[in-house]
Structure 1
Amino acid sequence: MAALIDLTLDCTDAQLLAAFWRTALGYVDEPPPAPYRTREEWLAQFDLPEGEDADDGAWLCDPDGVGPRLCILKVPEPKTAKNRLHMDVRVPVDGGPAQRWARIEAEAERLVEAGGSVLEVFEGHHVVMADPEGNEFCVAAGPVRR
């Protein structure tokens, strides 16, 4: 049996990044583990360091249960170098090269409006972008989920 993975992003503003990635991926806030009703209630069982609170983290999940969970956690140090691992946001496309590229361009534009930025364009293939805190990711074409 294959292992499941979660992806974790370090950041300085977990709520800002969570809002961006909800938009980018169509993810939703993951409910707290049972029997807790809220994240704050769940976090209260831990001895959090002084100055840390529930807004220092966000947990997102694919509402269809297909994609990996995304954990977004505030850390004290800033991002200083290129990611060693990045995500590819694969937009569903059913069509030829022109349709694929138009869909990739439209998605990149939508993500710029959500707070991302374009770093490099590989015409006809993919767009390298950064989220609001500079974490790199690519927008490319993917299969249509059926």
Structure 2
Amino acid sequence: MAIRIDLTFDCADARVLAAFWKTALGYVDEPPLAPFATREEWLASFGPEEAGDEEDGAWLCDPDGVGPRLSILRVPEPKTAKNRLHIDIRVPGHGTAGERWARIRAEGARLTAAGGSVLVEVDGHHLVMADPEGNGFCVAARAA
């Protein structure tokens, strides 16, 4: 049996980064763990020294339960280097190379409007992008 993984982003602003990745991946806020009705209740269960606040993190999940959960956690240190692991967003659909490239560029435009930025266009193949906090990811066509 395969092991499920979560991906965790360190960040300066969990709300901004969560909003971007919800838009990028179609993810939703993960419901709180039972028996808690809200994230606030869950955080309060840790006690005042450990609880932090709602702005310290965000937890996202694939609404279909297929993709990995994302944990987005505020940390005091700034990002200082290129990430050694990145996400590839794969746009669906077949067609000609030109049609696939048009879909990749359209997805790049959508993610730029959501707060991302295009760093490099590898013409006809993929885009190298960054989320609002500079974490790199790529946009490419889904493999056939």
Q: Output aligned runs, 1:26-45, within 5 Å.
A: 26-45=26-45
Range moving further from structure 2, 85-94 or 40-49 = 40-49
Q: Output aligned runs, 1:17-56, within 5 Å.
A: 17-47=17-47, 49=49, 52-56=52-56
Partner of 1:128: 128
**SS at 1:83's partner residue?**
coil
| Contact 1:9/1:71 (8 A) holds in 2 | yes
Percent identity of paired positions between Structure 1 and Structure 2: 71
Amino acid at match of 2:31: P
Partner of 1:99: 99
Q: Output aligned runs, 1:67-146, within 5 Å.
A: 67-142=67-142
Change (3 A) 1:137 1:37: same
Change (3 A) 1:124 1:42: same
Q: Supply the distance in 2 between the matched residues of 1:12 and 1:48 (Cα, whole angstroms).
A: 22
Partner of 1:11: 11
| Contact 1:104/1:139 (8 A) holds in 2 | yes
Q: Supply the distance in 2 between the matched residues of 1:47 and 1:119 (Cα, whole angstroms).
A: 43
Aligned length: 144
**SS at 1:82's partner residue?**
coil
What is the CA deviation profile of residues 37-85 of structure 1, one whole-angstrom value per residue up to 9, with x for unaligned ones? 1001011111354793112100000111110001100000000000010
What is the CA deviation profile of residues 93-131 of structure 1, one whole-angstrom value per residue up to 9, with x for unaligned ones? 222211110100000000000000011010111000000
**SS at 1:88's partner residue?**
strand
TM-score by length of 2: 0.95
| Contact 2:29/2:59 (8 A) holds in 1 | yes
Range moving further from structure 2, 94-103 or 61-70 = 94-103
**SS at 2:95's partner residue?**
coil
| Contact 2:45/2:51 (8 A) holds in 1 | no
Gaps of 5+ in 1: none
Q: Supply the distance in 1 between the matched residues of 2:95 and 2:72 (Cα, whole angstroms).
A: 34
Range moving further from structure 2, 37-46 or 9-18 = 37-46
Gaps of 5+ in 2: none
TM-score by length of 1: 0.93
Amino acid at match of 1:6: D
